[in-house]
Amino acid sequence: MRGSVLVSPLPSVRPVPAVLAGGFRVSRARRTVLSVVLAAGLALTATACAEEKKPDPDKGTNGVGKLPAEEIENRARAAAEASDAVRLSGTLVGKGGTFKLNMRLKEDGGTGSVTSTENTFELLRVGDELFLKADAGFWTHEDGKGAPGGTAAPSPSRADAEAAGKLGDKYVKVPQGDPAYKEFRGFTEMDVLLDGLLGMGGELSKGERTRVGGVQTIKVQAADGAGGVLDVSLEGEPYPLRFARAGGKGVLTLAEWDADFELKPPDTSQIVDYGRQLPKSSD
């Protein structure tokens, strides 16, 4: 039609579905929920990792560290009693002075050395046969302390010096009837030494964990340490590995548990047998 204005029809507008219309809001809400869930999950994971990373002091041990102090001591004593051999070394302080021990012990004997402030002597016991080896000074009693009362110690007689010279560095068989036999034998008896030296007095408690000779240990202390402190192995058998005696009466190290060793009498050419009694410098 002339003169008429053609009006182009408007493009049809499709209605936006309600789901799409609110799609942006739904998507953002979903992402928010996911973020919260992920954050919570990460927090739990971090907590779990932190718990896993916390070291377990008993992991890889024999587990006795978890036990009460009394039970740890009982386990240590039981392990020691069941063992067939041990090396015992360290110091003992008593009325007779200070002694240094270095003894290998087992049921049927022992061997090693004992050092006092005056002398060093070696002991060897095979069954009931006991041998003592020392230098000439031991047999002449040359201790440098003098006689009682502060007077000078008498010099050994010529006969004593000659006898001592023959005994020096020889294995002298200690007669079982000699009063010294029981005293010297005590240094070679495993059960006697362990029972006498590892006694604790007072209420027991657990102490710190440490190492003895590279082995993990836990301390058991009596009367907060005043009654003795025992280091018990946390690896393998719960052996006692170190013992600090009550009252500062010495520290002992126990090693080579159940490690067998050979015991045999000395060669006959190295033995001096005095019969029923050891020689004395006063004879």
Most confident of 56-60, 142-146, 215-219: 215-219
- Per-residue model confidence as pLDDT tens digits over 108-153: 999 999 998 888 999 999 999 999 999 888 877 654 443 333 334 4
Q: How confident is the model at residue 77 (pLDDT cuts 50, 70, 90)?
A: very high
**Per-residue pLDDT reduced to its tens digit, 260-282:** 999 999 999 999 886 666 655 44
CA distances from 33 to 27, 40, 60 (A): 10, 11, 43
Residues, the chain: 283
- How confident is the model at residue 191, as a pLDDT? 93
Phi, psi of 260 (to 5 degrees): -70, 155
Query: 49 pLDDT band (50/70/90 cuts)?
Result: low
Contacts within 8 Å (CB) and 24+ apart, 33-41 = none
Q: What is the pTM of this model?
A: 0.72
2 pLDDT band, cuts 50/70/90, is very low
Q: Which domains does the chain have, with CATH numbers?
A: 64-273 (2.50.20.20)
Distance CA 244, CA 251 (A): 4
Q: What are phi and psi of 123, to 5 degrees?
A: -125, 140
Locate the DSSP E strands across 169-264: 170-173, 204-212, 215-222, 229-233, 240-244, 251-255
Task: Inform me whether the pLDDT recorded for 248 exceeds 70.
Answer: yes
DSSP 196-218: HHS---S-EEEEEEEEETTEEEE
Q: Which whole-number Å values give the CA distances from 79 to 7, 112, 256, in the listed order?
A: 110, 23, 13
What does the mean pLDDT of the chain come to?
A: 80
